[in-house]
Amino acid sequence: MAKITSSIKKELYKIEITSPTGNLVIADEPLAMGGKDAGFSPKELLASALASCTSATVRMYADRKEWDLQEVEMDIELEYNKEENKTVINRKLNFIGKLDETQKSRLLAIANACPVHKMLSNPIEINSQLV
């Protein structure tokens, strides 16, 4: 289970997000939304979770297979269509190294099996309560 804490105080839209081990990430809204753009926006954080999980999963697999994967480059675009009430995530991957097409295809399949991809591809339930 992943667990984080977050806090927003008086500074408009600046959110401090902390992990149980003390890692800190700053989130903020863009200037156009009244923030100071001092950190990732919430949507960028969601896209970042997918990017980081995908990258780590692909790296672990390639290392285990001893494939010559030098780098994984990725672009992720996250769009919410209000009219259709649908979220679309477009992910473009580039595997750099001495890899044949079979290896690249296998790495793409592995990318699609990363834990965050699986979570985002299935029903999500959010339970909220006051404490």
Nearest alpha-carbon partner for 47 in 76, 81, 86, 18 = 76
**pLDDT by residue (tens digit) across 108-118?**
999 999 999 99
Q: Which residues pair with 16 in a beta bridge?
A: 7, 26
Dist CA 42 CA 29 (whole Å): 8
Mean pLDDT of all residues belonging to the chain: 96
**pLDDT by residue (tens digit) across 9-47?**
999 999 999 999 999 999 999 999 999 999 999 999 999
Tokens at residue 97, please? 């190294």
pTM score of the predicted model: 0.91
Tokens at residue 110, please? 């592995």
**pLDDT the model gives residue 33:** 93
Q: What is the SS3 assignment for 86-127?
A: EEEEEEEEEEEEECCHHHHHHHHHHHCCCHHHHHHCCCCCCC
Nearest alpha-carbon partner for 36 in 69, 65, 14, 58 = 14
**pLDDT the model gives residue 1:** 84
Q: Is the separation of the CB atoms in 92 and 72 below 8 Å?
A: no
Per CATH, the homologous superfamily of domain 42-120 is K homology (KH) domain (3.30.300.20)
